[in-house]
Structures are given as structure tokens and as C-alpha cells.
Amino acid sequence: MKTKAIFLASVLLVGCQTSKLGTQLPIQHAQSLSSASVENEARKYIDSNQEKLGRLTKGKDSLSQPNLWHFVSSELKMKFQDNSLIREQKIKYLKNKSDLHHVIARANPYMYLIVSEIQRRSMPMELILVPIVESAFDPSATSGAGAAGLWQFVPSTGLHYGLKQNRWYDGRLDIVASTKAALDLMENLNRRFDGDWLLTLAAYNSGAGRVNKAISANRRQGKSTNFWELSLPRETSIYVPKMLALSHIIKNHKQHNFKLPNTDKRHGLARVDIGRQMKLSRVAEMSGLSLAQLKFYNAGYKLDVTAPNGPHYIVLPEDNARHFKNSLAEAKFMVPQPARLVKNNPNAESVLQYKVRQGDTLSTIAKRFNIDPYDLQNWNNLTTSDFLKVGQTLKTGSRQVGEDNIPNEFRVTARRPSIESQECTNST
């Protein structure tokens, strides 16, 4: 795709943010759809592989630089003529340097993932600044209009671009999935507006239909159809100037006596695929990260467990991701797997089995045998949408037996599965 670079920038601190830099969240509306699965496609572009994170492009060791923000600053390349609207926004930012610095510093963990994907797509580097305007780089930011996440997707737009939203998971709050969806949306809008990034950003903010309507009105009146001549809602008419102003400040940070925050690649987020549902407390323990920090970085998971039907990945700071992967490998090696039942062999490892009774759930059975519900699920090749059937035989572990007196069936009485009592047997 042929693209033009553009200076974007602005700070509208939104949702629950109380900064002096902004007030209201812009809301974008989907105008073109993508049928690709976010979960599957996300796997292709966000990888915790250290070598991939170490280099963005051939010949540019950008991600290993001491300060990634300096690299971003050098990539803000579009030339444009200053105007009063842009100057007005620059003045506002520079009056609140400490707030602006705080927001940019908060972006650091997400920078490596987003910058990598922007470069992979050959899109303008200025797009890294969009979440500053949209959410102040708060992954759990929400607006009164229902927009959510770093990129502030409204529910309908998120669904159009493959962002799952259910009782377990909200893809709009997932840094991996939402970044893919946001860049997909902007690529589609940019094609629609013939490569004009000013119109693309205006449409991201207010919807392509509204921008097209303004263009058509100008054409009927014989006026120019460039962004600066269009009659758009006030929020949109200052949205682009704010982004250009912020881009100018970061590009010319020395001139404005604005210190860019330091970045540390070890603290940049990396993705780790876990392949199944997992408790967040367990991930925190295995990664060395606090549960609060883990939930902050993985805001897409709405409960204390990952989504049963996916996505099956976690994002962690690079150092913690390395520790977590090592812990996963050790746990996989150590977890007992049900062995083949061998009768009349006192030295054999015998499978413990249980026949499901009415009212049983994975949780109650696991509690009965003092095992993890997730191990019980995996041992029996159960999906989280499966309900247990009366009479169904489950493997509940294995043990060494000294004599052939281990019963083949253990009976318990429990209630019928329900959402409240069943952790892993159903999803919406």
C-alpha cells in the first residue's frame, strides 16, 4: 500500500483521566469490514521472540536503541505548513509539559509492540501517537459513549474488526488484538481516502460517512476538499491539529526544551502463547509479576482467568516473559499425566477414574480429588464449552499402586453445572 507520512499528535486525556491536557474521547466508526480473525492474525505479527524484538527493519537496530522515543522522533518525517490551529494546540501542550511527559512515559511498555507493527505495515510512524490522543495510553480507558481501550473502539466497530466481546474477554482492551484492529481500520480508511492521512485521521475520529458528506458538500460548492477546508464537527476539526502539534513537539523536542522519557527494552511487552485457559494468579506467580500489574497489561481478560475459548496468550514485560516461559516449560514437564491402566501389575502406574454423576462440575470433581480443574480438563480433552454427561468416565490422575485394589469409580453428589459454580465448562 502506498502511504504518506503525516505528523499526528495531541493529548486528550480521556475517560477516567483527570489531566489538564484534554477532556473528551474521540469516537471512530467502522466503514469497511475485515473478515480476518484477530486472534489468528495477531499471532503473525506480535511475537515474543527476542531476535524479532531486537530489530525492526534490516539495517536499523531501532528496538535495541537506548531510547525508542528518539527513534520515533526521527521517523516523524512529513513536512507541512504550520497554521494558527496547530500553533494554538502547541501552546496548550507546552503549558503542561509535566502532564505530557507523564503520558508519553506511560506509553513505554506498549511502544515495542506497536512500533514493530507500524513498521511491518510501512505505515506512518506518527500513528504511534494516536493512543496518546485517544486514551492517554491507558489500556483500560473508557468513555461515556462506550469507547474502550488504547485505541478507543466503540463496541460495533470492534466487532466489525474481529474484537471479541463477551463475559470473559473484551478484545478492545487487548493490546495485541486492538492494535491490529486499529491499524486495519486505518489502512482501510486510507485506501478509501486515496492515501490522504489527514482525512484518514478525521474519519477515524468521526466516521468515514461524515467526512465523505463534508467532501461532497464542498464539491457541490466548488470548494477545496482538503481537510482544512471541510466543515466537520468541532471535535474532529481540532483532532488533527492537536496530533500535528504533538508530533511537532516530539520531532523538535530539543527546540521546545521537552525531554523525551527513557525506554528500556526489558520492560517492553512481549507476547507469550499459553495454549489453554489459565488463572491469572498462576501466571503472575510463574512470571514474577504482581497480579495487579499482570491485570493492567492484560486488561482484555475481564475475570481472574483467561478466556476459555481464546485468545490463549499473555503479554508481559520481556524479562517476566522469559521467566514465565521457563516456568511453563518446567511445569509441563512436572505435571503428572494419566498413564495407561495396567491391571495386575503392582509396580504399574494406574489411572484413577471417576464416573460423572448428575450435578457434577469440573470444579467439584477437581476439589474432590485435590487436583487443578485445568489439568482435569486437559487430561480428558474437554473444551470449555462442553457440559459433563452423566455416566461419562473421566481420568482424575494417576498413582503408583502396591496392590490391585484401586477402584475404577469414585462417586460424589453435586449440583447441576451453572455459571456461578462452574469455572471452565461454559463460555459466552
Q: How far apart are CA 399 and CA 342, in angstroms?
A: 12
List 134, 187, 235, 318, catalytic entry: 134
The residue assigned the cell 459513549 is 145
Q: How far apart are CA 151 and CA 163, in angstroms?
A: 12
* Grid cell in block for residue 247: 508530533
The continuous run of DSSP H or E covering 341 comes out as none
134 catalytic? Reply is: yes
* DSSP E strand stretches across 251-320: 269-273, 313-317
Task: Give the residue among 398, 387, 386, 384 at the shortest CA–CA distance from 354.
Answer: 398
Longest dimension (CA), the chain: 95
Compute the Cα dihedral for 280, 285, 287, 290 and give only its sign. Answer: positive
What type of residue is 51? E
Count of alpha carbons within 13 angstroms of residue 218, beta-carbon side:
16
Residues belonging to the active site: 134
